[in-house]
Structure formats: C-alpha cells, structure tokens
Amino acid sequence: MVSIDGLGDLWDRLFSAQPDPPPLLVVLTALAALAVVAVRSTWRVARNAVTIAHEGGHALAALLTGRRLHGIRLHSDTSGLTLSAGRPTGPGMILTLLAGYVAPSLVGLGGAWLLGGNRITLLLWVAVALLLAMLLLVRNVFGVLSLLVTGGVVLVVSWYATPQVQAVFAWTSVWFLLIGGVRPVFELQRLRSRGRMPESDADQLAHLTPFPALLWVLVFGLVNLFALAVGAVLLAGPLLAEAGIPL
C-alpha cells in the first residue's frame, strides 16, 4: 500500500519544474534532431517514432469522432495502418484522415509547451502513458515490439537517468518530432507526383471534399511548419532569456 507521503513525493516529482537547461543544450539538441531527420540512414530508423505518432493521431481522431477503432498496425518499412469503422463520409472520416500527417508535429508542439515550463518528468511520463494506451490497440508483432522498445526507453530514462540526461533526451525528442513531422509531407508529395501513392490520406480527403489532394498536402505542410515555428520559440526560451528577449 502506497503511503500518503509516497504519493506526495510522486506528485512532486511528476509536476515539479526542473531548472532551465543551458542555452547550449537547446542548440545542440536541435542540431542533433535535424541531423537525424536529414541523414537518410538515421531517418529510416527514427522515422518509426513519427509513424507511431501518425497512426496514433488517426486512432485518437477516430475515437473522438465516434468511429469504432479496430486496431493499428506498424510495419518495419515505417509505414502504418489504422483501421476504423463508421460512416465512410462526413466530418468524422475527414478528421480521422486529416489527423495523421499533422499528429507528430502537434505532439511535438505539446511537448515543447511542457518543456517551456521545464516539466521534463511530466513530459516523459505522459509519453509513456500514451505509448501504453496505443500498445493496447496494436494488432501486429512488429507494432507491439516497436512500442515496447520505444516505451521502455522512455520509461528507463524517466526513472533512472540523471536530470541532465533526461533534459538532453527530452529536448532532442521534442525537436525531432517538430522537425521530423515536416519531412513526411514532402515525401508524400514526391511519391504522389510519381504516382506511387494514389490512395494517400490527401487523395482520400480529396475524394471526400471539394478540395484537391494538393491543397490537403499544403494544409499538412502549413500546420506542421506553424507547429515547428511556435515549438521552436517555446524551446528556445533559455536562449531568448539570455538575450534579454521576453517570451
């Protein structure tokens, strides 16, 4: 049985603010995340995290709009599939399709907001909780392994790592989601232009709405670039403070 004091300590650990990170940490973690996204070999591995957020966005939108969620599949080629049932047209289906490509950047923006308040531990535990919830919805072996590995790494860092390591991990991860959320939109349009993704989210949205697929790709890109810009300002708080620029 957990004591009141134990619950109090847990509450303090979860919601207490950590010290401001050194400005150099903010810069180096941003450069590290940019390198991971820009280099093809590292992107092929790290892109799994973006796929997890992408399919999680589809799943959450489906649940929030009243659709019946049948499951999520994550594949080793970094593709994914979220299956839901309900009306094949209408706002619920549109929002479910729309949520995928913008989800990684919006998750990154939420993470940047928490890090802007130096809530590193809270960020890591929220990430573990979301990954655990998604694990219950995954329907293939690779998807289960991918979530277990990702969630396990976050859990170990949140529980055992030093505050300095937690800060590096948290800032790098959030930068990665913000930057990494933009690249798939360009990849999507490149594949569409070659006729290799005729049933992409953007093309399905075009079938359901009066707007062409290219406009939906533009919407994905603008949302993600906006999230990157706002998230960068939130994450750059220590740099701005050192320069005497108030947020």
Amino acid 71: pLDDT: 95
166, pLDDT greater than 80: yes
d(CA 61, CA 79): 19
pLDDT above 80 (res 3): no
> Residue 176: which of 105, 98, 76, 77 has the closest Cα?
105
Q: Among residues 78, 56, 77, 49, which one has the least CA distance to residue 174?
A: 49
For the packed helices 163-180 and 141-160, what is the interaxial angle rounded to 10 degrees?
Answer: 140
Per-residue pLDDT at 7 exceeds 70: no
pLDDT number for residue 238: 72
Q: How confident is the model at residue 16 (pLDDT cuts 50, 70, 90)?
A: confident
pTM greater than 0.95: no
Please tell me the distance from the alpha carbon of residue 163 to that of residue 170, in angstroms, as a whole number: 10
Does the structure show a pLDDT above 90 at 36? yes
Q: Are 76 and 197 in contact (CB under 8 A)?
A: no
Residues 23, 44: Cα–Cα separation, whole Å: 29
- The values of phi and psi at residue 36, to 5°, are -60, -40
- Mean pLDDT of all residues in 103-112: 98
Q: What pLDDT shows up at residue 4? A: 62
Q: Number of C-alpha atoms within 13 angstroms, CB side, residue 160? A: 5
**63 HSE (CA, 13 A, CB side):** 14
Does residue 167 register a pLDDT over 80?
yes
68 has a pLDDT exceeding 80: yes
Asked whether the beta carbons of 221 and 101 are under 8 A apart, the reply is no
Phi/psi of residue 84, each to 5°? -140, 160
Res. 66: pLDDT tops 70: yes
pLDDT digits (tens, 9 = 90+) for 189-235: 999 999 988 899 999 999 999 999 999 999 999 999 999 999 999 99
